[in-house]
Chain A
Amino acid sequence: MSPAILINLLFPIVTGLILWIMKPAEGSLVSYDFLLWFGVGAVLQILASISLMTRNHTRWVIGWTLLWIASASYMASYAPAHLQDGLIEGKWNEVKAPEPQFPKGMEVSDKEQADLVVRKSKWKKDRAAADLWFRDQYKITSTAESYDSLAQRDLAKAAYLLYVLAFAFLSSFFSISWFAGRGRLHEYDVKGGSEEDPLAVNLMGRDPADA
């Protein structure tokens, strides 16, 4: 068994275990929407590595195709996690945004002063809306700052989840390239791969008419 096949076999299992231990969505604003596509990707990647254990043309075609679908599934699992993270992050940024102000001692025109008034009004509205959103999500009715640690915990959970899903994708994506390499194509007796010697004389060395 080659190291590439071993990686394809182990990665989905290890990332699955990490997610199981991490339980990112438990009691947090992060949802489990990513899980279905992650599961599909993991199963397909394992099937691909099993297929690629036998070195022949058909097994290569099946394994390589499965790797493509596994990669796409991992990317699909990343989408809800990313959106969830983006939503929490966006609200958090609005809560934490400092009040707009002009630099000290800077000369400003009437137009710029009017612009600042508009920016401050928007800042107040955004901040109040984000504040309300967090209170509502965490079912908090008392102080505005009491959701601070909860929101930070969820942001951290979302970030770690994104890393795990990203590495799962990388493992399958790099395998696609690895198994498309000239060496592997020879190993699996795949027809239609390049037969050119990398160090052969370049076509450009000749007259354009000959090329």
Chain B
Amino acid sequence: MTFVLPILGVLQADPGADTATSSFLEQLGTFLSDAAGWSWGLPFILMLGSVGLFYTVRLGLPQFRNFKHAIGIGAGRYDEDGDPGEVTHFQALSAALSATVGVGNIAGVATAIAMGGPGAAIWMAIFGFFGMMTKFASCTLAIRYRVYDEGGAILGGPMESIRRGLGPRFHWLAGAFAICALIASFGGGNMVQANQMANAFTHEFADSFPSGMSEDISFLGLDTNWLRVTLGIVVAAIVGLVIIGGIKRIGHVAGILVPVMALFYVGGAGTIIALHASEVPAMLSEMFRLAFLGGQEQVAGGAVGYTVVGALTWGARRAVFSNEAGLGSAPIAHAAARTKEPIREGLVAMLEPFIDTIVICMMTALVILLTDAHVYFHDKEGAVLTREAFRLGLESAPWLGAVVVSIGLVLFAISTAISWSYYGDRCASFLFGAWAVKPYRAIYVGVIFLGANLNAKTVWNFSDVANAAMAFWHIVALLALTPVVIALYRDYFSRPQIPTKQLEEAKRREGGDA
């Protein structure tokens, strides 16, 4: 604690404070901001995009060819009772989706548009499309190389894919990934979620509580207010109660929470888009123009490359934050799926970036752009910009728009924090053994409380840097194991794939004939 509390004070303080420490805080803030910008620069983004593009070309557009089959698997048509694993395809998909459908879908899209312009939304969708294949490959490998840990729980994901897929020479690579993933689990999946939720909630509902709740206080060395402290404790308690039950309870809760929260948010966004339906084609055309050609004034000045880079990097950065394709996090949840066919889980996982980025993120982007919120509130970003867009979109009941975003954020944040805990606990188990899981979960719950009370920019930048670090090791393995994925894919589709029900009927008929 002697070491932790001063660091926490440093992280949450306002960099503008006029104290001796403020220059250090400013430097730390600038360092994290520069590091996040650098690590999520063009090299990294092109690297992630090209892996997806590579698999898309190599396997001949499975995003289109196998989409229907993937939905069938997700719906449980190919589930078999005797298959090894802990959760069904749908529960694994829900657990992974609840981790990916989070603050990124509300706040991340707004940030991408605020920083990269409307074209950034198109780049988000493009990265979502190629991200489908990155996720397919990583989740296929997760099933192929999963094992049981000492406690009898499934242990899979990039660390096992690297360890068993690449061989003992590359154990250090698996360790590097697991360390980075463990650290990252405290960032994007935990602190950012709690922080953005607390921001939106206090912004929206502060007036509804007694005035003392939103007054500045110092609590455990943190400059915060009672509303944030209460929110932090409540959310940490909810998440704690769920994650104690492990992947089975996470999968069960996610299976209920994900459809509810997606329908709630998508319903609100869909209503606004429907109200502006006639403007959608023109808006999409404008977005494509800005994504590939840059703004008109910049074209005249010859700075097309600059505007395109801005749109590309911000679109890709927030797309990857949102759908996690290439990070190596989702394969950890998918590894627990009940199946003996790695390709099946890969195909189910392929649906995630589609639902998360191509559907939900694009809906958020359209709401922001159709209501011109990015023009009127150009100096705002994150969840606040999305909230303003929803208020503008639902003109007759602006309060309803704000409530949809705020409640959506709370649901998204809780579900994401629940699922990310599983990623961290698998990495803890890989690195230190099954005994480390319980201490990890306790720390994880504590960090949620801190996230709700820390400085937003620092939390986002920390998360970006940590995510980039884990993706880096994962991509090396993903490319090196390409032949394995291709061999499994060809083998799977060389055999007839018949839904379980039909297969059982055929067996019954055969039995009857005999």
- The reply to whether A155 and B147 contact each other, CB–CB distance below 8 Å, is no
- The reply to whether B305 and A156 contact each other, CB–CB distance below 8 Å, is yes
The CA-CA distance from A101 to B375 in the complex, in Å, is: 9
Q: A159-B309, A211-B148 are in contact. Are A181 and B482 (CB under 8 A)?
A: yes
> Which listed residue (A83, A152, A182, A191) contacts B483, Cβ 8 A?
A182
The CA-CA distance from A86 to B398 in the complex, in Å, is: 36
> Which listed residue (B144, B169, B482) contacts A192, Cβ 8 A?
B169
The CA-CA distance from A102 to B377 in the complex, in Å, is: 8
Query: Which A residues lie within 8 Å of B504 (CB)?
Result: none
- The reply to whether B41 and A166 contact each other, CB–CB distance below 8 Å, is yes
Choose, from A9-17, A46-54, A71-79, the stretch at the interface: A71-79
Choose, from B56-64, B126-134, B473-481, the stretch at the interface: B473-481
- The reply to whether B375 and A98 contact each other, CB–CB distance below 8 Å, is yes
- The reply to whether A74 and B43 contact each other, CB–CB distance below 8 Å, is yes
The CA-CA distance from A198 to B482 in the complex, in Å, is: 11
- The reply to whether B166 and A193 contact each other, CB–CB distance below 8 Å, is yes
Asked if B248 is an interface residue, CB under 8 A from chain A, the answer is no
- The reply to whether A208 and B152 contact each other, CB–CB distance below 8 Å, is yes
The CA-CA distance from A56 to B243 in the complex, in Å, is: 49
> Which listed residue (A78, A101, A162) contacts B309, Cβ 8 A?
A162
Asked if B392 is an interface residue, CB under 8 A from chain A, the answer is yes
Asked if B496 is an interface residue, CB under 8 A from chain A, the answer is no
- The reply to whether B340 and A202 contact each other, CB–CB distance below 8 Å, is yes
Type the 1/0 row for B156-170, where 1 means its CB is closer than 8 Å to any CB of A.
Answer: 000000001111111
Considering the complex, give the chain A residue whose CB is closest to the CB of B487: A198
> Which listed residue (A158, A191, A204, A205) contacts B306, Cβ 8 A?
A158
Asked if A163 is an interface residue, CB under 8 A from chain B, the answer is yes
- The reply to whether B488 and A198 contact each other, CB–CB distance below 8 Å, is yes
Q: How far is the CB of B313 from chain A (nearest CB, A)?
A: 9
Which residues between 158 and 206 of chain A lie within 8 Å of chain B, taking CB atoms? 158-160, 162-163, 165-167, 169-170, 173-174, 176-178, 180-183, 185, 190-196, 198-199, 202-206
- The reply to whether B482 and A103 contact each other, CB–CB distance below 8 Å, is no
- The reply to whether A152 and B301 contact each other, CB–CB distance below 8 Å, is yes
Asked if A117 is an interface residue, CB under 8 A from chain B, the answer is no
Q: How far is the CB of A52 from chain B (nearest CB, A)?
A: 15
Asked if A55 is an interface residue, CB under 8 A from chain B, the answer is no
Q: How far is the CB of B326 from chain A (nearest CB, A)?
A: 13
The CA-CA distance from A198 to B140 in the complex, in Å, is: 11
> Which listed residue (A83, A123, A153, A192) contacts B303, Cβ 8 A?
A153
Type the 1/0 row for A140-158, where 1 means its CB is closer than 8 Å to any CB of B.
Answer: 0000000011001101101
Asked if A119 is an interface residue, CB under 8 A from chain B, the answer is yes
The CA-CA distance from A177 to B47 in the complex, in Å, is: 12
- The reply to whether A199 and B301 contact each other, CB–CB distance below 8 Å, is no
- The reply to whether B475 and A194 contact each other, CB–CB distance below 8 Å, is no
Type the 1/0 row for B19-57, where 1 means its CB is closer than 8 Å to any CB of A.
Answer: 000000000000000100110011100110010000000
Q: How far is the CB of A163 from chain B (nearest CB, A)?
A: 6
- The reply to whether B84 and A103 contact each other, CB–CB distance below 8 Å, is no
Query: Which A residues lie within 8 Å of B306 (CB)?
Result: 89, 152, 155-156, 158-159
Q: A89-B310, A169-B43, A196-B165 are in contact. Are A149 and B301 (CB under 8 A)?
A: yes
Asked if A82 is an interface residue, CB under 8 A from chain B, the answer is yes
Which residues between 73 and 97 of chain A lie within 8 Å of chain B, taking CB atoms? 74-75, 78-79, 82-83, 86, 89, 97
Query: Which A residues lie within 8 Å of B371 (CB)?
Result: 103
- The reply to whether A153 and B301 contact each other, CB–CB distance below 8 Å, is yes
Asked if A125 is an interface residue, CB under 8 A from chain B, the answer is no
Q: How far is the CB of A96 from chain B (nearest CB, A)?
A: 8
The interface centre, meaning the residue of B154, B376, B478, B491 with most chain A CB atoms within 10 A of its CB, is B376
The CA-CA distance from A203 to B483 in the complex, in Å, is: 20
Q: A98-B378, A159-B306, A192-B169 are in contact. Are A204 and B85 (CB under 8 A)?
A: yes
Q: How far is the CB of A139 from chain B (nearest CB, A)?
A: 20
Asked if A23 is an interface residue, CB under 8 A from chain B, the answer is no
Query: Which A residues lie within 8 Å of B483 (CB)?
Result: 181-183, 198
- The reply to whether A180 and B480 contact each other, CB–CB distance below 8 Å, is yes
Query: Which A residues lie within 8 Å of B43 (CB)?
Result: 74-75, 78, 165-166, 169-170, 173
The CA-CA distance from A193 to B477 in the complex, in Å, is: 13
Considering the complex, give the chain B residue whose CB is closest to the CB of A156: B303
Q: A159-B309, A180-B170 are in contact. Are A174 and B479 (CB under 8 A)?
A: yes
B residues apposed to A, CB below 8 Å: 34, 37-38, 41-43, 46-47, 50, 84-85, 143-144, 146-148, 152, 154, 164-170, 298, 301-306, 308-310, 340, 342, 371-372, 375-379, 392, 398, 475-484, 487-488, 491
Q: List 24 A-B contacts (CB under 8 A).
A: A75-B38, A78-B41, A79-B34, A82-B38, A101-B376, A103-B372, A119-B379, A152-B306, A155-B303, A159-B303, A159-B308, A165-B43, A166-B43, A170-B50, A174-B479, A177-B476, A178-B480, A180-B476, A181-B482, A182-B484, A193-B170, A198-B483, A199-B491, A204-B340
- 10 A-B pairs with the lowest CB-CB distances in the bound complex, closest first: A192-B169, A177-B479, A152-B301, A194-B167, A159-B305, A166-B42, A155-B306, A169-B43, A180-B480, A198-B484
Q: What 19 new A-B contacts, CB under 8 Å, besides A181-B480, A198-B483?
A: A74-B43, A79-B34, A97-B378, A98-B378, A159-B303, A159-B308, A159-B309, A162-B41, A162-B309, A165-B42, A166-B41, A166-B43, A169-B47, A177-B475, A192-B169, A198-B144, A198-B487, A202-B146, A202-B340
A residues apposed to B, CB below 8 Å: 74-75, 78-79, 82-83, 86, 89, 97-98, 100-103, 106-107, 119, 122-123, 148-149, 152-153, 155-156, 158-160, 162-163, 165-167, 169-170, 173-174, 176-178, 180-183, 185, 190-196, 198-199, 202-206, 208, 211
